[in-house]
A and B are shown apart, each in its own frame.
Chain A
Amino acid sequence: MGKKTSILSPLKALKYLFKKPKTLLYPFELKEPAMRYRGLHLNDWDKCTGCGNCADVCPNEAIEMKEIPEIEAGDGERNERPEIDYGRCCFCGLCVDICPTASLRLSRDYFHIHFDPKTFKLLAKDEKTDKEHFLPEGEYSIFKASLAHRREKYEGFSPDLEYSLFNPERVPMSQASPEERKASFVEQVKGFSAKEAQKEASRCLECKLCEEVCPAEMNISDYVRNIWDDNLEEATRDIYKTNPLPEICGRVCTHKCESACVLGNQGKPLSIRWLKRYVVDNIPLEKYRKVLGTEEIKSIDRKVAIVGAGPGGLAAAYYLRLMGYQTVIFDRLPKPGGMMRYGIPEYRLPYEALDKDIEYIKSVGVEIRCNTTVGKDVSLDDLGDKYDAVFVSTGFHNGRSTGVPGTERSGVFQAIELLRKVTMGEKIKVTEKIVVIGGGDVAMDISRTLGRLQMEEFGTVGVTVSCLETRDIMPATPEEIEEALEEGIKLYPGWGPEKIIIDNEKIKGVVMKKCLRVFDKNGRFNPEFDVEKKMEIEGSMVVEAIGQAPDFTFLSEKIKEKLTYEGRKIKTDEYGQTSLSWLFIGGDLTRGPDVINAIDTGHKAARGIDKFISARE
């Protein structure tokens, strides 16, 4: 025991009687909560995407996502916002640390006293969207403080990317270097290893915003979860539910899912496309039928003809075949694949990958007749007579021309034709300097392809790309542009062609004029130029890549008359059925143009055709 003091020593405490009291005279003397105080919720409705991760992580199920009909949800958004039940909330702030948009925060106010438990629910907002309940210093009174009477600019516990519960960083993908790429048509993206794929898959928060924008409505979060679980067979089954071309989509899909991915708000979106590729790259073709349970398909005595062996046709044929239909695909080119084979360069989509998907579709009993042009070798009318239904998905194989003076000459090419020739193995005579007109993905594809051919021929790349759009609104995917630049391709965005310079019957280059705007106020394509501002791009070969158009030569006059049109498009219902009930169309003809939209039109048409044939019987 310590030194004992006198029995009177407690009287020492009396000295505190004459000191200023330490207790605060609340509510006249307020105590400011700390800057990190975890009080009532704040939510920035403009930033919030309604992903619902806050509700999922909440340990007390205190958060419910409420539908707000007034909110117009764009891609990667839901018109839902979190509602917090303060009868359940424990103010742990996990909802803040998981919020991928950093919209959800906690404020420093903590008052709510009411006799009615219903008032304990709050649709969290902040002063930006709710001026009525968030009041400035002067109007705020502590005596009225409640969920409906709060102080503005009173933020407490806030999200911090360093401590977030989601991982904003992507697992880096190993890619061929620009030098390596330029020198050959080797595939650029090398693919994930198992460990990398599982790590990347583990980033997924399963909010499923991606699935809402996927044109083919793929079960993304299911297969990503199965990748993380290392169950690739189940993942393959998830993928094949709505997409029979995963090797292809895993490489060249326009990945709308990734733009919608909620992780992209503060970090990098999940590499959904490459994860899909990882799944199928690791399942050998021989195992497909066993994994997917398609070893035995009971055929029915109904036949469907499909015109075009592109993604739309292949998807329709596959899903019809699974339902038992006998399906035959007709294609005018020597090999199946359509635009995927003849439009997409090999470095982006190697032929082995393409062949693997197509071989599997063939293995379930889909017949593909190549080198057969519908409209020439066999008429569409005949197909209509011989088959129970016909699905047409012929793609956009005709290039469009700018029509400026000089484009009619030889030496001016269409990108899409050149790409087709490269695939067919035809020799293309490239010159040392080439001008490409256009700013979309096809322009990038042809420039990079020509660059590779130039490397072979001359050892240097001499391709110049110009387009009407400025860099920020160029339609090509940003990575494509970036990679083209890395490979030594020159880019002049914001210029339009005026004429081709011809000197001594030879192409010398293109005169360009400055483009002031591409679209008018109504959003229509209506470019305006500054004719004073001009420049010349040197080149002895010009390639136009400004868009493609469909080729309707397969339609006979008889059929054309019976079809109804919507503008220049053939009118169809949701399944692609035209006014001729046995004729369904899809692919680029109805939506797109891209692979994933085509697959979806094919899948829908398969369901539509099944409905049509079943109903007829």
Chain B
Amino acid sequence: MREVELYFGPQHLGMVGNFSITLKVEGDCILEATANPGFLHRGFEKLMEYRTWIQNFPMVCRINVVEPDHMEMVYAMGVEKLANIEVPERAQWIRSVYLELARVGSHLFGLWAYANMLGFDTVAQWSMYHRDLILDLFEELTGGRVYHIYIWPGGVRRDFPEGFTDRMVETLHSIGKCVPDYNDIFFNNPLFYERAHNVGKISQEEAKEWGAVGQVLRATGMPYDIRKVEPYAAYDKVDFDIPTRVEGDAYSRVLVIRDEMIESVHLIFKLLDNMPGGKVFNRSFNPFKWKVPEGEAYVRVESSRGELGLYMVSDGKDKPYRVHFRTPSYTHGLIILEKLLEGANIADVGNTMISLYVVAPEIDR
């Protein structure tokens, strides 16, 4: 049969985000896949070298539309490490609650993308609606729905508004009540099972070798999570589980995501129950007279797609000397995706890509 080159994206129904994969196919079978990034390169890392330490704070979140919050967190942690800024206890707890809320919101968004791509439109609608309820909470806490601009060096920007905890618990319960319905029509649905199991299968050895993190690694049976490996915020103060599965295919990855959402909600309840009082911001700088001491820092957090790292160098001036993000989608989208698509079916391209939770803006930055 004749070899054909196919462009999957950036304009393609199965593509989520501005990303493209060039496929070499023979009939229905993919011989070679080449990830083709660059459509979303906005030059954030370079821009950050031209903005002061505080001016970067409203900008980092924009790197990743789906989940801006972990970007804020990792930047704040980087600056705090370089400048040796102490964060009040309560702020650390609030950060954890906020980041778990972000994880749920982000997973719901991911679920929308996956269900939508596979044609499970009802689930997509539900998850988008439920994500909106979480955005309402963010709006109340931070004043913004998508870009929250909330975690800044030295703590968080405002404390919980009055009655916020109750409303958050209520919202999370109302979403939780729908889990059985989600199970019935999606997660346990034989149609979905047939579509997702054995797709994009990866073994634990391969996952480690190819630099997989997050659900991709956890779905192969390895409970690797930065929240446990190198705890930050208040994650070492409460007990929680790391959901894993062993199959390593798209189906198991989605189930890990589901279990993670449920675990996150439980974690939020535990955090709220033990939340300490006190102030939530240590003012330690004046934005116009803020030089961060010379040095370099690598900090990492567990974002909803896995390990998110930030390497930042300061030359003792008012702006960062160099900023570099290590994002989970980078390895998932550029390396693992290419490997998994070799020998796969054209119909499984989008399926594999979204099950790897590839978020294009994270790759390009």
Contacts and interface: CB of A to CB of B under 8 A. Distances in A.
Contacts of B345: none
A604 to B, nearest CB: 31
A34 interface: yes
Interface in A1-36: 1-7, 9-10, 12-13, 22-23, 33-36
Contacts of A5: 183-184, 188-190
A265 interface: no
Nearest to B129: A22
Given A57-B55, A163-B157, A157 B143 contact: yes
B188 A2 contact: yes
B190 A36 contact: no
B149 A93 contact: yes
Given A36-B143, A90-B58, A163 B158 contact: yes
Nearest to B245: A1
Contacts of B297: none
A565 interface: no
B143 A163 contact: no
Interface stretch (B79-87, B285-293, B356-364): B285-293
B360 to A, nearest CB: 21
Nearest to A202: B289
A167 B282 CA distance: 11
B237 interface: no
Interface in B237-292: 247, 251-252, 255, 279, 281, 283, 285-289
B144 A38 contact: yes
Interface stretch (B101-109, B134-142, B303-311): B134-142
Nearest to A58: B55
Interface string B56-78: 11110010000000000000000
Contact of B185 (A4, A9, A59, A157): A9
Nearest to A203: B286
Given A7-B191, A203-B286, A12 B184 contact: yes
Contacts of A157: 143
A37 interface: yes
Interface in A77-116: 90-94, 97-98, 106
Interface string B182-221: 0111011111010001000000000000000000000000
Contacts of A9: 184-185, 188-189
B302 to A, nearest CB: 24
B11 interface: no
B54 A37 contact: no
A37 B139 contact: yes
B181 A34 contact: no
A208 to B, nearest CB: 12
Interface string B97-126: 000000000000000000000000010000
B196 to A, nearest CB: 10
Interface residues of A, number: 49
Interface residues on B, range: 35 or more
A97 B183 CA distance: 45
Contacts of B190: 4-7
A162 interface: yes
A205 interface: yes
B173 to A, nearest CB: 16
B41 interface: no
Contacts of B255: 1-2
B325 interface: no
B51 interface: yes
A12 B251 contact: no
Nearest to B139: A34
Nearest to A206: B288
Contacts of B185: 9-10, 12-13
A516 interface: no
Contacts of B279: 162
B188 A3 contact: yes
Contact of A10 (B57, B184, B283): B184
Interface in A192-214: 201-206
Contacts of A23: 129
A35 B140 contact: yes
A225 interface: yes
B287 A98 contact: yes
Given A3-B188, A13-B181, A36-B158, A92 B287 contact: no
Contacts of A225: 289
Interface in B134-186: 136, 139-144, 147, 149, 157-158, 161, 181, 183-185
Interface in A121-168: 156-157, 160, 162-167
A288 interface: no
Contacts of B51: 59
Nearest to A165: B287
A342 interface: no
A164 B153 CA distance: 13
Given A1-B188, A106-B143, 6 more contacts: A5-B183, A9-B189, A36-B141, A57-B287, A90-B59, A204-B286
Interface of B: 51, 54-59, 62, 122, 129, 136, 139-144, 147, 149, 157-158, 161, 181, 183-185, 187-191, 193, 197, 247, 251-252, 255, 279, 281, 283, 285-289
6 contacts: A1-B197, A7-B189, A9-B185, A97-B157, A163-B281, A202-B289
